[in-house]
Amino acid sequence: METLARLVTSSIGRKLLVAAVGFLLCGFLMTHLAGNMFLFVGEKAFNTYARVLESNPFLLPIELALLGVILLHAVVALYLNLTSLAARPVGYAMKRSRGGRTWGSATMVYTAVLIGVFLVIHVKTFKYGVRPSPEDLYGLVMSYLQDWRWALFYAVVMAGLGLHLSHGAWSATQTFGIDHPKYTPLIKGAGLAFAVVVAAVFTAIPIWACWFLGGAR
């Protein structure tokens, strides 16, 4: 127990914690995306999926645990970022900024804030929004996604999510020591592909809903 406490309070321990929680959140993203794919199947399929999900007696504990995981990831990652900036000389930071930094690594804090704001709006809108009928989540979702302003906002956030994942997935593998000259390019490519696919499929949903079903109203 004492060893675990020392690990969590150390810099490397916190990095491992952020990486592990990040992998958990990637798993949630894939699960959530799979559920959203029922939108493409149709109203009946999506509402059935929503009804099964909402009738799960463990839904509330899972949602609370997910909230805790998100907050833990955000708070520890922000702490690591602030301590890193405080310990880094200005000249070194400027030199690093001219080096091999990617858009994903340079915008991690900004994309994190963007995603956080979106999550609050997303939950308020779709979890607590007024449905056309009690079991018609599909109607509520479509009433927003068929509005081009919401669709555009959604697409911008998903681009931010893709940027965040493009660096986060790669950084997490490095934190766990998965770094080898032979396999690093493959792992880095896989992380980038994961980020692009997740962001692209999430973005496809409002584009399809707005421009193909709603006529971009």
Phi and psi at 146, nearest 5°, equal -85, 0
What is the amino acid identity at position 164? Answer: H
- Read off the pLDDT of residues 35-85 as tens digits, 9 standing for 90 and up: 999 999 999 999 999 999 999 999 999 999 999 999 999 999 998 888 877
Write down the pLDDT at residue 94: 44
Write down the pLDDT at residue 184: 80
Q: Is 198 exposed, middle or buried (CB count within 10 Å of its CB: 0-12, 13-18, 19+)?
A: buried
By the 8 A CB rule, do 108 and 161 touch? no
Phi and psi at 101, nearest 5°, equal -65, 145
The two three-digit tokens of residue 196, written as one number? 């692009």
- Read off the pLDDT of residues 112-168 as tens digits, 9 standing for 90 and up: 999 999 999 999 999 999 999 999 999 999 999 999 999 999 999 999 999 999 988
Integer Cα distance of 103 and 168 in angstroms = 12
What pTM value is reported for the model? 0.86
- Read off the pLDDT of residues 159-208 as tens digits, 9 standing for 90 and up: 999 999 998 888 888 888 877 777 788 888 888 999 999 999 999 999 99
Please state the domain count of the chain.
1
CATH number for 181: 1.20.1300
Question: Where in the sequence is the domain holding 68, given as residue range(s)?
Answer: 2-213
